[in-house]
Amino acid sequence: MIDVHAHYGWDYVFDEDFTLEEQQAKHAEFGIGATILQPASCHDLERVSAQHDAIAAATRIFPGKFYGMANPNPHLRDDIYEAELRRCVEELGFVGVKVHTFAHAVHPGGRDGTKVFELARQLGIPVMVHTGAGIPFANPSNLIEVAERFPEVPIVMAHCGMMIMAGETILALRKCKNLYADITWTAGFQIKHWADEVGADRFMFGTDHADNCGTELAKIRTCGLNEEQQAQILHGTAERIYGIRA
């Protein structure tokens, strides 16, 4: 099983402390094979760079168990943002980048959001985008135009619109084949209906918070998905999109 959405570090927006110890405990209790770690919310370069370095250290200490996803603030000056993202991917080996529409107050199709997708295309990495809480920037429908402008870039809708905007998730998935979603904070009945319609290979397992792991696994195992669909969501899609193995 691959967890594509987890945090490591202090969150300066939501006042949460995400630790490596809780990630290790999650692996041990639930049999998680690998986790993609991203920073918690940081606005400035110094703090996010420190969290990127801590994630990189975890990937070295526990190879194959942890991978990195960058999350610098897109509102950083262009050259600073690009340098940090390139450092994460080219030097630290990170496998993706995050746009947190809510925490960083950024529209994915706006001026600063667009540069993330342009760099992701150059670097050959997927972009995860927070959707749900934080409307209107966090609306899944915002990603339709972006996905059409960057068809080469796999775009992962974190949280599938987080229930409140879930109706837009399936509209976006139907329209754009390079859109995917992680199923954190998403109802089981929605996962089942959507997987049947557009394919389970468009969805990925994630936790967001380590103590949410049991709940997220229970949804996948009890919402009526067959074994092949469950395997796609639990690891198959992540292996294909992020190029990693559990």
pLDDT at 246: 81
The whole-model pTM stands at: 0.97
pLDDT at 204: 98
Asked if 173 contacts 165 with a C-beta cutoff of 8 angstroms, the reply is: no
Task: Give every residue of the chain whose pLDDT is below 70, as ranges.
Answer: none
DSSP letters for 17-56: EE-HHHHHHHHHHHT--EEEEEE----SHHHHHHHHHHHH
The first and second tokens of residue 214, run together, are 């049991």
Domain boundaries, given as residue ranges, for the chain: 72-242
pLDDT tens, position by position, 156-172: 999 999 999 999 999 99
Q: What CATH number was assigned to the domain covering residues 72-242?
A: 3.20.20.140
Reported residue count of the chain is 246
pLDDT at 245: 85
Q: How far apart are CA 154 and CA 3, in angstroms?
A: 17
Asked if 35 contacts 23 with a C-beta cutoff of 8 angstroms, the reply is: yes
CA-wise closest residue to 35 among 56, 57, 66, 60 = 66
pLDDT at 51: 98
Neighbours of 60 (CB within 10 A): 11
